[in-house]
Amino acid sequence: MTQIDYYFGTISPWAYLAGDRLERMAQRHGASVTYRPLDILQLFDRTGGVRPADRHASRMDYRAQELPRWAEHLGMPLRMDVGMTNMAPSSYAIIAAQEAGAGDIGALVRGFLSARFAEGRDIADDAVIRDVLTASGFDPAIADRGLFVGAEEYGRNLERAVEAGVFGSPFYVVRESGQKFFGQDRLDFLDRHLATL
């Protein structure tokens, strides 16, 4: 079975805009997805990127135009008024849920991204984390039980990402071929690549 490592930050609006396209194409091609949430800001620091707060105004102005364009194109609601939040708690919950081995991890990931970018909720808030876990069919107690494992794996995901040549979110790496795809706007290329394997 083809394996896809999906690297993303739960504060990435671009990961939100990917919607469920990865999961649908993985199902179509019989591929398996491993979700690897990470600290996207540290990834920028490690790979020559620039954190949004430090980017030139022209880049941020373009981003403020491009995100709503993509949201409209994809028919997805998008809140542009969300500030920065701690991405670690939601990431830990995803890691713990994936480790538990039951449930739809893709739905959970989309649940956190939608809570943030469609509903404007703070995904660092414990009540929001429990609500998203419950709504995605997971035991909300995973948020408590998986803290230690989640924290360790979260750090390892950053190291894996740097080693794999990942530099942004969302980022998809096909293990068998080593092919890399950066951005939700490259999912069509990933789809075509999977068809060749």
Of 67, 64, 75, nearest in space to 20 by CA? 75
For 176, the 3-state DSSP assignment is coil
- Extract the tokens encoding 121: 């909720």
- pLDDT tens per residue across span 94-145: 999 999 877 899 999 999 999 999 999 999 999 999 999 999 999 999 888 8
Of 182, 193, 191, 187, nearest in space to 40 by CA? 182
Residues paired with 144 in a beta bridge:
none
Domain containing 105 — which CATH number? 3.40.30.10
Look at residue 146 in the predicted model and tell me its pLDDT.
72
pTM comes to: 0.96
Q: Which domain holds residue 159?
A: 3-194
Residue 83 binned pLDDT confidence (cut-offs 50, 70, 90): confident
Q: How buried is residue 143: exposed, middle or buried, by Cβ count under 10 Å (0-12/13-18/19+)?
A: buried
Scan for tokens 């990933």, then name that residue: 190
Domains: count for the chain: 1
Average pLDDT over the chain, rounded to an integer: 95
Spatial distance between the Cα atoms of 85 and 43, rounded to a whole number of angstroms: 16
